[in-house]
Amino acid sequence: MSNLNLAKHSSDFDIDSLPILNLELFKREDSQAQFLKDLQTIAKEIGFFYLVGHGISKQRIEEIQNISKQFFSLDQNKKDELAMINSPHFRGYSQPNAENTRNVPDFREQIDIGPELDALAVNDETPLWARMQGPNQWPKEWSEFQEITTAWLNDLRQIAIDLLHAFMLALGQKEDALDHLISGSPNELLKLIHYPKVDDSYHQGVGAHKDSNILTLLLQDQTGGLQVLKGDDWVDIPYVEDAFIINIGEILELATNGYLVANVHQVHSPKQQDRYSVAYFISPNLFSGEIPVLELAPELQKLAKGPTSDPLNVILKNAGQNSIKSRLRSHLDVTQKFYPKQYAEIQNNIR
């Protein structure tokens, strides 16, 4: 963890590693300009980086990691009481192979937690994505779990907003250029994830994909398995103590007309020991409407090639539609139960 107070510059990029940025440098007047310069270069050339100086203590990190392991060590019937199949809002627990990436099951179990809000009254005229708002499913008689995960959700939201502001300034925009997307209650998601170890055969922990949100903050353990696509090569992303891995989501790719690129990444299932990670995703408020395209400076605009799009998971300009489309495809059991029309369409496309 030496020299973590300085960002690695573009000349130091190595295909086998990622640069490190210190968020404290963004908040200091004497170092903000260099931080923004590094952020602009790193975001354009790689799209992933480590973040330190985020203000989350080692104690808090250990707390969320411990509560995650405690949850996954529960009896299976206790976890299944919180099964996502009970929630039209796509909240709750998923067993291994219950979530799909590019139509292939992911071998991991997880619990998805979002803003604790009342479900909206819906009818045939209500936009489909409005049904994503609603309450979480919580373990019974375990208030500590809800307290710790809710506090983590709140703290990571503020870090993500600080980062979004830094991105805007690095691109020559006003700091609050995209704040209307996250005003009120952004569509955020916390995933506690467990990848069981497997034998020597290949298992897809998570298939190759881009994140469909604004930004992702990932806390991983020392087990390994996360890879980023750099050119034609998959690069292993090693553990860095107390650091978040940050990756750009498709919303920022869309808003910058492809100047920023949401990088492709995947996870291989571990073979030596189980892997645990904690992922936070910030997405636009479901009701924020169309994603705007920012007017970049000419020298940046000429490097913007337009957003790329996975034909199996197309980027949509409406925030609500873009949020629900990947959930519908990823959790087919929930889709079949609560969104039968969309389930039939997805099945027809798969065939």
What CATH number does residue 127 fall under? 2.60.120.330
Is the pLDDT assigned to residue 165 strictly greater than 80?
A: yes
User: Is 291 inside a domain boundary?
Assistant: yes
User: Is 5 inside a domain boundary?
Assistant: no
Residue 146: Cβ-neighbour burial (10 angstroms; 0-12, 13-18, 19+): middle
Is the pLDDT assigned to residue 12 strictly greater than 60?
A: no
User: Is 236 inside a domain boundary?
Assistant: yes
pTM of the model: 0.92
Is the pLDDT assigned to residue 266 strictly greater than 60?
A: yes
The domain total for the chain is 1
User: Is 249 inside a domain boundary?
Assistant: yes
Is the pLDDT assigned to residue 32 strictly greater than 50?
A: yes
User: Is 3 inside a domain boundary?
Assistant: no
Is the pLDDT assigned to residue 348 strictly greater than 60?
A: yes
Q: 55 and 160 in contact (C-beta within 8 Å)?
A: no
User: Is 268 inside a domain boundary?
Assistant: yes
> What's the pLDDT score for residue 338?
96
129-138, 156-165, 260-269 — which is least confidently predicted? 260-269
> What's the pLDDT score for residue 312?
56
User: Is 262 inside a domain boundary?
Assistant: yes
Domain that holds residue 147: 10-350
Going by C-beta distance under 8 Å and a sequence separation of 6 or more, which residues neighbour residue 16?
235, 236
Average pLDDT over residues 321-332: 91
Highest mean pLDDT among 87-91, 97-101, 222-226, 262-266: 87-91
